[in-house]
Amino acid sequence: MSAAQVASLSAETVTIEERTPFQIVMTRFRRHRLAMVSLVIMTLVLLITILAPVIAPFEVQELSVNKYFVPFGTVDEETGRVHYLGTDQIGRDYFSRLIYAGRISLTIAIISTLISELVGIVIGAVSGFFGGWIDNILMRFVEFMLTIPTLPLLLIISSMLLRNEELIPIPEPLLRFMGNIMLLTARDSRNAVLIIIILAGFGWLNAAQLMRGMVLSLREQTFVEASRSLGASNYRIITRDMIPNAMAPIIVDASLGLAGYVVAEAALAFLGFGIQDPIPTWGNMLSASQEFMLDRPWLPLVPGLPIFLCSLAFNYIGDGLRDALDPRLKL
C-alpha cells in the first residue's frame, strides 16, 4: 500500500503524533554536533559544485595569456572578472577549475559508492541467504580479492584500461549521461566512468561481507520464519525482511566509503593514473601543482583543502549515522 493511500485511510483518526524510525534517527543524528557541521559543509560543497556553471567566473579551459600564477583576487582588466584564487601555471582560473573539479571528483565518489553498495548488498544477501557452495564460492572470491594490495592493482588496471579504449566498451548514451552530470563531453567522461568501474570493482567487497554478516544473523530471526510460514518467497524475504533491517550498517559503510573514494580518486590522479589534465579533478590539480609548491604553497593547498574537508565530513557523518542508527541507544 502506498503512503498516500495509508494517509487517506487514516486521515480522520490521526490523534497521536506518529514517529517513524526515520524521524527517530533524525532526532538522534541532530544531537551529533560534528556530524551536523559536516552535513552543512557537505551540503554547501555539493551546492557549489552543482551550481558550478553559474558561480564560476571563467571557463574551465579558458587561458588568460601572460597571466601565470597571478595572486588571489586579481581582476581581469578586459572583462572585470575576478581570479578569486589566482591562476595556475598556464593562466587558467584556479577557482573555476576547483569547483568544476569538485563536480567531477564528487560524482566519481558518489556513483562509485552507489554501485559498490548495490553490488555488495546483492552479492552479500545472496551469499548469506542461500549459504552452502554459493556462499563458499562468493566469499572465498571476496577474501581473495581483499588479500591483494589495492593501490598497485588499481594503478595497473587503470593504466591498462585508460590506454586501451576497446578493452571495455561503454555504451554511448551512458557516456553522454555521465558527461552531462560532470559537464564533460561524452568522450572525456569515458575516463571518469572507467575510474568509477575500477573503484567500485574493489569497493563492493567490504559491503558484501557486511551484508552477508547481517543476513546470516537476520536469517535466524523469528520474523523471517514468520514470513516463511505465511508462504513468502525467498525474494520477498530478502527484499522485505533482510535488506531493510540490514540498511543501518550499509548506510554507515556508504558514508565512510564516500570519504575513501574521494581520497582514492585523488590518489590515482596524483600518481598520474586517473583523469588527465586538461580535465580538472582535485587529484590532478594537486598533482600538477607539486612542481611549484615550494615557491607557491597555496597551489597544492587549494585543491587539498576540499579533499581533506570532504573526507573528514563524510567520516563524521558516518560516525553520526552509526550512533543514530544503533538501536541499542534509546533516545
Q: Does 6 bind another protein (CB under 8 A)?
A: yes
Q: Does 331 bind another protein (CB under 8 A)?
A: no
260: three-class secondary structure by DSSP: helix
Q: Which three cell numbers stand for residue 107?
A: 560524482
Contacting residues for 209 by C-beta, under 8 A, at least 6 apart: 120, 124, 139, 142
Nearest distance from C-beta of residue 226 to another protein, angstroms: 5
Tell me the C-alpha distance between 99 and 49, whole Å.
5
Nearest distance from C-beta of residue 229 to another protein, angstroms: 5
Closest CA to 112 of 257, 315, 210, 304: 257
Binding mask 167-206 for another protein (x = CB under 8 A): ----------------------------------------
DSSP bridge pairs for 83: 74
CA distances from 31 to 24, 37, 215, 320 (A): 11, 11, 30, 9
Place of cell 569515458: 190
Tally the residues of the chain.
Answer: 331
Tell me the C-alpha distance between 254 and 25, whole Å.
17
Tell me the C-alpha distance between 89 and 65, whole Å.
11
Nearest distance from C-beta of residue 35 to another protein, angstroms: 23
Total residues in contact with another protein, by rule CB under 8 A: 31
Q: Does 28 bind another protein (CB under 8 A)?
A: no
* CB closer to another protein out of 278 and 327: 327
Q: Does 16 bind another protein (CB under 8 A)?
A: yes
Q: Does 66 bind another protein (CB under 8 A)?
A: no
Place of cell 570493482: 201
**Using CB under 8 A, which of the segments 3-11, 44-52, 186-194, 279-287 binds another protein?**
3-11
- Which of 4, 20, 164, 329 binds another protein (CB under 8 A)? It is 20
- Which of 4, 11, 13, 329 binds another protein (CB under 8 A)? It is 13
Q: Does 147 bind another protein (CB under 8 A)?
A: no
Q: Which of residues 243-272 bind another protein (CB under 8 A)?
A: 244-245
* CB closer to another protein out of 3 and 148: 3
- Which of 230, 294, 329, 331 binds another protein (CB under 8 A)? It is 230
Tell me the C-alpha distance between 225 and 128, whole Å.
16
Q: Does 1 bind another protein (CB under 8 A)?
A: yes
Q: Does 139 bind another protein (CB under 8 A)?
A: no
Residue 190 and residue 165 in contact, taking contact as beta carbons nearer than 8 Å:
yes
Q: Does 132 bind another protein (CB under 8 A)?
A: no
**Using CB under 8 A, which of the segments 25-33, 46-54, 199-207, 226-234 binds another protein?**
226-234
Q: Which three cell numbers stand for residue 42?
A: 557537505
- Which of 47, 75, 137, 226 binds another protein (CB under 8 A)? It is 226
Closest CA to 47 of 85, 103, 93, 112: 103
Residue 89 and residue 68 in contact, taking contact as beta carbons nearer than 8 Å:
yes
Q: Which three cell numbers stand for residue 95?
A: 577557482
Q: Rule CB under 8 A: which residues touch another protein?
A: 1-2, 5-6, 9-10, 13-16, 18, 20-21, 221-223, 225-233, 236, 240-241, 244-245, 327
